[in-house]
């Protein structure tokens, strides 16, 4: 019956007995890489209908069709946590997206700051990385990957009810702790390799839409930008997978 640990993200609704098609990339993966056959088992999820046990009912080198059989895990409510990180070079940005997906970020928003050394991304590539990470770590949803924004544009559209935690490498703030309400809207904001400028930090704190803002420390060491993302999300979302 194949390996049921193969998990695939699909966009179609999932209902028992209602057939659906794999994407071209998924078809290639199942037929040519994993050498699966009709009758083999897979697991499917779409971020809305939970996780389903399914079987392959037709397969060729370029197309695969599934039949969902039964719900194996109901859809869960993930923490409403945005990651807003100063855009990094390609490999580091790839790492940030992968690890932020694994740790539970709901939205991944690259930002452009005064010291950012990159200004564009391949969104299709990042969305593919996030999808593969969600499939691998058994998460039931894929985070939204947004196009880069300049810091000022992000702040001008900031939802005032969302609490912001700014990782400050100066280490003069309190240590980062998860909020008491695991489902409240929150965001972690991390800076570039060169750090935030004083004007940026002052401007964020004084912005009229940022009504709930805390400058926090991630410890006594100066962390690389990608390490700060991983450490910050791990601290902020501690225990959320058990909620």
My answer on whether 66 and 92 are in the same domain is no
| pLDDT reported for residue 25 | 93
Establish if 92 belongs to a structural domain: yes
96 burial level (CB within 10 Å; 0-12, 13-18, 19+):
buried
The DSSP code for 170 is T
Establish if 49 belongs to a structural domain: yes
Q: Under 8 Å CB-to-CB from 28, ≥6 apart: which residues? A: 61, 62
Domain end position, chosen among 73, 102, 120: 73
Domain end position, chosen among 73, 92, 126: 73
| pLDDT reported for residue 139 | 96
My answer on whether 149 and 231 are in the same domain is yes
| pLDDT reported for residue 240 | 61
My answer on whether 108 and 69 are in the same domain is no
| pLDDT reported for residue 4 | 56
How many independent structural domains does the chain possess? 2
| pLDDT reported for residue 243 | 42
My answer on whether 132 and 14 are in the same domain is no
Smallest Cα–Cα separation from 139: which of 130, 150, 126, 151?
A: 130
My answer on whether 89 and 23 are in the same domain is no
| pLDDT reported for residue 239 | 59
Which CATH number belongs to the domain containing residue 232 in this structure?
A: 3.40.1280.10
Range of the domain at 49: 7-73
| pLDDT reported for residue 154 | 96
My answer on whether 62 and 99 are in the same domain is no
CB atoms within 10 A of CB 63: 15
| pLDDT reported for residue 171 | 63
My answer on whether 110 and 47 are in the same domain is no
d(CA 145, CA 124): 9
| pLDDT reported for residue 242 | 44
pLDDT beneath 50: ranges in the chain: 1, 242-243
Establish if 226 belongs to a structural domain: yes
My answer on whether 235 and 122 are in the same domain is yes
My answer on whether 197 and 90 are in the same domain is yes
My answer on whether 132 and 207 are in the same domain is yes
């Amino acid at each position: 019956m194949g390996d049921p640990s193969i998990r695939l993200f699909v966009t179609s609704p999932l209902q028992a007995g209602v057939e659906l098609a794999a994407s071209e990339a998924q078809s290639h993966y199942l037929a040519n890489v994993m050498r699966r056959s009709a009758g083999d088992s897979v697991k499917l999820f779409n971020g809305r209908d939970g996780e389903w046990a399914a079987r392959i009912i037709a397969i060729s080198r370029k197309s695969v069709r599934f039949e969902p059989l039964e719900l194996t895990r109901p859809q869960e409510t993930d923490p409403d946590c945005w990651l807003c990180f100063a855009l990094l070079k390609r490999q580091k940005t790839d790492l940030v997206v992968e690890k932020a997906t694994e740790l539970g970020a709901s939205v991944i928003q690259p930002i452009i700051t005064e010291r950012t050394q990159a200004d564009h991304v391949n969104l299709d590539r990042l969305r593919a990385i996030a999808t593969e990470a969600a499939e691998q770590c058994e998460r039931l949803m894929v985070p939204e990957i947004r196009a880069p924004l300049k810091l000022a544009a992000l702040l001008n559209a900031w939802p005032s009810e969302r609490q912001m935690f700014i990782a400050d490498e100066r280490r003069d703030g309190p240590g980062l702790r998860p909020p008491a309400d695991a489902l409240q809207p929150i965001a972690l904001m991390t800076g570039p390799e060169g750090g935030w400028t004083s004007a940026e930090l002052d401007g964020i704190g004084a912005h009229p839409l940022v009504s709930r803002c805390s400058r926090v420390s991630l410890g006594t060491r100066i962390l690389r930008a990608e390490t700060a993302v991983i450490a910050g999300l791990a601290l902020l979302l501690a225990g959320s997978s058990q909620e």
